[in-house]
Every structure is written in structure tokens, then in C-alpha cells.
Amino acid sequence: GLRNQGASKGATTSFLISTPQTGVDSVLVSAAFLGWPFALFKVAAAFATGVAGGWLVSRLTDEEAPAVADDKQGEHWRTAGNRLTAVWRYALFDILAAIDLWLIAGILLAAAITTAVPPDYFQQVSWSQGLPGMLLVLVIALPMYVCTTSSVPIAASLIAAGMPAGSALVFLMAGPATNIATMGAVYRALGGRVLGLYLGTVIVASIGLGMGFEFVLGNVTADVQAHRHVSGAWWEIAAAVVLVCLMAFLLLRRIWQRYLGPRPGAAVDAGDVTFSVEGMTCQHCVANVTNALQSVADVEHVSADLGSGIVRIKGVQLHPELLRSVITRAGYRVSDTPG
């Protein structure tokens, strides 16, 4: 990843803290469920938290020279097809395929919360308001294995049930940044001291920024939720139909890759190796795996699919065991379940 390409510990930490909340998918989903004021504040909060965390790591830890990998990336993904095809593939396979299953899971869980919890329930209990409510949400969010995208519908359902918007911001900042896979990757790549600073920054910043948001913009999000309605416009229905069709296509594609495609770990064509990788939870994880593999000599191209976990490596005289170890060192697991 970035560390292997020469980035400092501080820069890497800043990237890990801010990236989950500043991706295009996260911003658009947040705006759709919670309104643009909330989405833009979340981006600014992630930027400020990332800068603060990176600065603390740079000041309080000793910098070690990273093992810089040869930069062999460059033009691999840019040479396939024309620009229109590249835009289409990015929108479908990089953005939608990265969030569709998580978004569905988040919507289902949010629907369960909305059904089980009466509207404005949390407004009637004192412990869910202000700092106590934020601390409670923080305790719940820290051990949760939740993706940035799936956490947004959950946060929206909590706000609809009367939870303050500031507490929802705490949930969105702390949950995705502190899941087990992320913390494991930080520990392996940067060490225990950096992990402690990483967690401390996320915890303190989420509480502080949550209180700040509640003071400045809390009523704005409440108004957005209160005036939400279904218009049923033709273009909304058409967009929903297109989205469902694309999701169905991605689901069928995953089924083919996992159960009907080449067996993981086996050579597909001359010079091709396929693995099933566990632990990739977002597009950042896909980039980590791709960059780690492309740093290996004789690897010409890497194709990683987030939904299915299938990673295909093309090159000359590749050694599967070496590639396994590279994926493992990057913080992910190689599963050899038959394909």
C-alpha cells in the first residue's frame, strides 16, 4: 500500500482515517439519506481528523524507512478500451460493486430498527441525548464490523427514532474506522503505538466533532428527515429500476466467479493465477491488495473484485506461494475454497 510506496507513518495514518468518509460513494449515500449539510460536514470532519491523526503520529513516533516497492502500476487500467468504457467500468465495478451488498445490508438493518423502535423514542430517554448518548454510540460502534456505506442507513434510522444527529456522526466516524480488519492492518503495517494514536484520534475527534455538529447543524438534519417523502416521479422509478437491474447483474457475476469460474489458486491461462481473498471490505482494501501484488516482480496486471473476493494475477512465471505471502503481509487472508 502507501507505506510500501514510501509514504511516512503520519501520511499513511491520515489516509486511513480520512478515506472511509471522503469517498464518492460514501458522500453520495450520506447526502441521499441524511442531506447535503450532514454529508459535507462529515467530509470536513474526516479531513480534520485525518490531518490531526497524521500530525500526532509524525510528532510522537519514530519514523522508519519503509520498504519501497518498485512502481510498476501506471497505465494498466488506463489502456483498456476508450474513455467511455473506462468511465462505465469504474462506475459499475469500482463504485457500485463496492457498495451494493453493504448498502442492501444497511437498508435491511435500518428497516428492522425503524420497525422495532417507535418514532422519536430516543427523544424520550435522557441517556440517549448529548454526551451520554454519544459515548453510548461510541461503545457500540467501536467493536462493530460495519462498512462506511452500510452504516449510513443505520444512522438515518437512528435519527428517525430520535437519536441526535451528532450521535449519528459519532457512529459514522468511529464504526468504519475501528473495525477489526482496519485495526489489524494498522497494527501490522505501522505498529502498536501508531494503532493507539489512531484509535485515540478517532475516539476524541468523533466525540468533539459530534458535539460541534449538534451545536451548529443538528436542527438542519432533523428538518431534512422530517420533510422526507416519496414523490414517485417517473425518473425516480426509472432510476430505481436501472439500479436494481445493475445490482442483479453484479450478483449473477459474483455467483459465476465464485462457483462457476476458475478454481482459486490455479493457473487460468499461461501466467495467470487466481485467489479468493478474505478481508476486503471496501475499495481501499482492493487498492491495498492490488498495489501489494503489483510490487512483485513479473506481475503484469492485477484484477480484484470486491464483491466476490476473487483476485486474478497475470504475469510471467508467477509463484503462487510468494503471491499468497504478499497478500497475507498486506493484512488479508487467502482462502482456497473451490471455485
Tens of pLDDT along 155-189?
A: 888 888 888 888 888 888 887 777 666 777 778 77
Residue 255 in domain: no
For 333, the enclosing helix (H) or strand (E) is strand 333-335
Whether 247 maps to a domain, the answer reads no
- What global pTM score does this model have? 0.63
Do residues 266 and 224 both lie within one domain?
Answer: no
310-334 residue pLDDT tens: 888 888 878 888 888 888 888 788 8
Does 280 share its domain with 184?
no
164 and 283 housed in the same domain: no
Stated length of the chain: 339
Q: Please name which of 189, 160, 161, 158 lies closest in space to residue 175, comparing C-alpha atoms.
A: 158
The pLDDT score that the predictor gives to residue 208 is 92
Of the residues 228, 246, 276, the one at which a domain ends: 228
The answer to whether residue 284 sits within a structural domain is yes
The amino acid present at 274, given as its one-letter code, is: T
Q: C-alpha grid cell for residue 170?
A: 459519532
**269 shares its domain with 216:** no
The strand order across the sheet containing 333-335 reads 299-304, 310-315, 272-278, 333-335
Task: Kindly report the number of other CB atoms within 10 A of residue 329's CB atom.
Answer: 12
Distance CA 114, CA 275 (A): 39
What's the structural domain count of the chain?
2
Could you tell me the residue range of the domain that residue 317 belongs to? 262-335
Last residue of a domain, one of 228, 254, 274: 228
Q: Are residues 217 and 271 in the same domain?
A: no
Q: Are residues 221 and 139 in the same domain?
A: yes
- 251 burial via Cβ count (<10 Å: 0-12, 13-18, 19+): middle
Q: In which element (H, E) is residue 334 found?
A: strand 333-335
Query: Tell me: the pLDDT tens digits for 258-309?
Result: 677 655 444 444 568 888 888 776 666 787 788 888 888 888 888 887 777 8
Least confident of 21-25, 201-205, 238-242: 21-25
Same domain, 268 and 119: no
The answer on 168 and 114 residing in a single domain is: yes
Locate 240 and state its grid cell. 430505481
Q: Which residues contact 20 (CB under 8 A, 6 or more apart)?
A: 26, 46, 148, 176, 177, 282, 284
Specify whether 184 is located in the same domain as 298.
no
Q: What is the CATH number of the domain that holds 282?
A: 3.30.70.100
Check residue 75 and give its pLDDT.
44
| Rounded-to-integer distance, Cα 312 and Cα 258, Å | 12
Provide the pLDDT for residue 25.
75
C-alpha torsion 263→266→272→276, nearest 10: 50
Q: Is the pLDDT of residue 220 over 70?
A: no
**Position with higher pLDDT, 331 vs 212:** 212
* Alpha-carbon span 28 to 69, nearest angstrom: 34
224 contact partners, CB below 8 Å, separation of at least 6: 34, 35, 37, 38
pLDDT at 228 over 60: no
Vertex 266 angle, CA 263 and 269, to 5°: 105
Residues 77, 119 within the same domain: yes
Helix, strand, or coil here: 309? coil
**pLDDT, average across residues 240-251:** 87
Residue 233 placed within a domain:
no
- Percent pLDDT > 90 in the chain is 7
Same domain, 206 and 266: no
Same domain, 142 and 274: no
